[in-house]
């Protein structure tokens, strides 16, 4: 007797967010990245449409990274010293479809670059490379509230993804993103309620829910990954059940979290039993990323090109099943 496969059907769907505007759309990007749009839980293809694959965004900084391990830094070599070279390397050598630029240099403790300097940097970067961009903050609220609006304006019409808005600091960025036609990252501390509340607050400022990407905050493997996983799964279930306030795609800062783990960083001399760190960090980042893909991650911001390449293959395999 044939077994009948029980399929779940959902009434809701994840919003589709488009990042990067092409010439026809008034920007200068070579292509547009579309994320979201799912009508089923991650990769349960028979249950509903999964129109877009998860994308890997290569993380680059405006200044040479300050806390990257030797192994991680060696993957880029001298390119780390110049953000333009670094960006080009990602696009040319690693075939990056989208980049995520962290404006760390704006932070008062890391160079304190002015809003105008950063805006010029973004303008120049947009000229140098033509993939869509994600722009993220330095971590100093006061400074970010000057820098990010300036960068939004500099990139007007390019329909980028800019972050991050948080519950206690969302108004300035939301207004800038709205005015200059970008998308926004809404960051919440592994908390589905705050994620929803922030989406409501931002949409109350007339920025449509369709232009929000949630950063649910994640933990790397061994550092709360499962906690992040359940929060993302719960949000996705709510979205599929029709709750529009939490129907945004997810962006996960995988590289940042994975390379913070001591398992990724410690040299083999310090921990002989763990094996060579050359492989360890890459594995740590790749495993964290694949787990989050299963939780519903739409954008994975990654650091090590080898990890990114492995995850890229994994994504291709995954999407083949949907065909």
Question: What is the dihedral angle through the alpha carbons of 20, 26, 28, 34, rounded to the nearest 10 degrees?
Answer: 20
The smaller minimum CB distance to other proteins, of residues 131 and 238, is found at 238
Q: In the structure encoding, which two tokens stand for residue 295, read together?
A: 């939780």
Tokens 């060579």 map to which residue? 276
The smaller minimum CB distance to other proteins, of residues 117 and 243, is found at 243
Strand partners, 141: none
168 binds other proteins (CB under 8 A): yes
Q: Residue 282: CB partners within 8 Å, gap ≥ 6?
A: 304, 306, 307, 310
Shortest Cβ 168–other proteins spacing (Å): 8
Q: Residue 143: CB partners within 8 Å, gap ≥ 6?
A: 106, 107, 108, 112
159 binds other proteins (CB under 8 A): no
196 binds other proteins (CB under 8 A): yes
Residue 10 sits at φ, ψ, to 5 deg, of -115, 150
Q: Which of 28, 73, 167, 294 binds other proteins (CB under 8 A)?
A: 167
227 binds other proteins (CB under 8 A): no
313 binds other proteins (CB under 8 A): no
Interface positions, 37-56, toward other proteins (CB under 8 A)? none
The answer to whether the bond into 7 is cis (omega within 30° of 0) is no
The smaller minimum CB distance to other proteins, of residues 130 and 191, is found at 191
Shortest Cβ 294–other proteins spacing (Å): 24
Q: What are the angstrom distances between the C-alpha of 221 and each of 227, 232, 306, 316? A: 10, 15, 18, 22
CB 73 within 8 A of CB 66: no
Interface positions, 228-257, toward other proteins (CB under 8 A)? 243, 245
CB 275 within 8 A of CB 48: no
Candidates 11-19, 46-54, 147-155, 167-175 — which segment interacts with other proteins by CB under 8 A? Answer: 167-175
171 binds other proteins (CB under 8 A): yes
4 binds other proteins (CB under 8 A): no
The smaller minimum CB distance to other proteins, of residues 52 and 203, is found at 203
Interface positions, 202-221, toward other proteins (CB under 8 A)? 204
Q: In the structure encoding, which two tokens stand for residue 143, read together?
A: 């400074």
Tokens 């932070």 map to which residue? 107
The smaller minimum CB distance to other proteins, of residues 12 and 132, is found at 12
The smaller minimum CB distance to other proteins, of residues 7 and 200, is found at 200
175 binds other proteins (CB under 8 A): no
* Separation of alpha carbons 10 and 17, rounded Å: 20
CB 60 within 8 A of CB 128: no
Shortest Cβ 196–other proteins spacing (Å): 5
The smaller minimum CB distance to other proteins, of residues 188 and 288, is found at 188
Shortest Cβ 190–other proteins spacing (Å): 12
Strand partners, 133: 99
Q: Which of 197, 233, 237, 314 binds other proteins (CB under 8 A)?
A: 197
Give the footprint of other proteins on this chain (CB under 8 A): 167-168, 171, 191, 193, 196-197, 200-201, 204, 243, 245
């Amino acid at each position: 007797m044939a077994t009948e496969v029980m399929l779940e059907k959902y009434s809701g769907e994840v919003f589709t967010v488009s990042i990067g505007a092409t010439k026809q759309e008034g920007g200068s990007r070579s292509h547009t990245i579309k994320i979201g749009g799912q009508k089923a839980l991650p990769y349960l293809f028979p249950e509903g449409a999964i129109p877009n694959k998860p994308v890997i965004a290569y993380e680059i900084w405006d200044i040479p990274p300050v806390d990257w391990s030797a192994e991680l830094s060696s993957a880029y070599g001298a390119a780390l010293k110049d953000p333009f070279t670094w960006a080009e390397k990602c696009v040319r050598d690693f075939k990056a479809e989208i980049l995520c630029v962290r404006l760390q240099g704006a932070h008062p403790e890391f160079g304190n670059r002015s809003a105008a300097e950063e805006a010029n940097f973004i303008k120049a970067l947009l000229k140098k490379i033509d993939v869509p961009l994600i722009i993220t903050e330095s971590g100093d609220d006061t400074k970010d509230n000057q820098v990010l609006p300036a960068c939004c304006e500099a990139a007007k019409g390019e329909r980028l993804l800019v972050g991050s808005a948080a519950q206690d600091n969302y108004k300035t960025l939301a207004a800038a993103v709205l005015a200059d036609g970008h998308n926004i990252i809404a960051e919440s501390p592994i908390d589905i309620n705050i994620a929803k509340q922030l989406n409501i607050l931002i949409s109350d400022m007339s920025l449509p829910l369709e232009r929000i990407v949630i950063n649910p905050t994640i933990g790397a493997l061994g550092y709360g990954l499962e906690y992040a996983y359940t929060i993302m799964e719960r949000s996705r279930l709510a979205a599929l059940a029709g709750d529009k306030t939490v129907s945004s795609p997810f962006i996960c800062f995988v590289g940042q979290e994975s390379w913070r783990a001591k398992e990724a960083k410690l040299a083999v001399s310090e921990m002989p039993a763990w094996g060579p760190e050359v492989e360890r960090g890459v594995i740590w980042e790749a495993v964290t990323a694949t787990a989050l893909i299963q939780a519903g991650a739409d954008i994975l911001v990654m650091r090590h090109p080898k990890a990114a390449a492995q995850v890229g293959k994994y994504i291709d395999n995954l999407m083949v099943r949907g065909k």
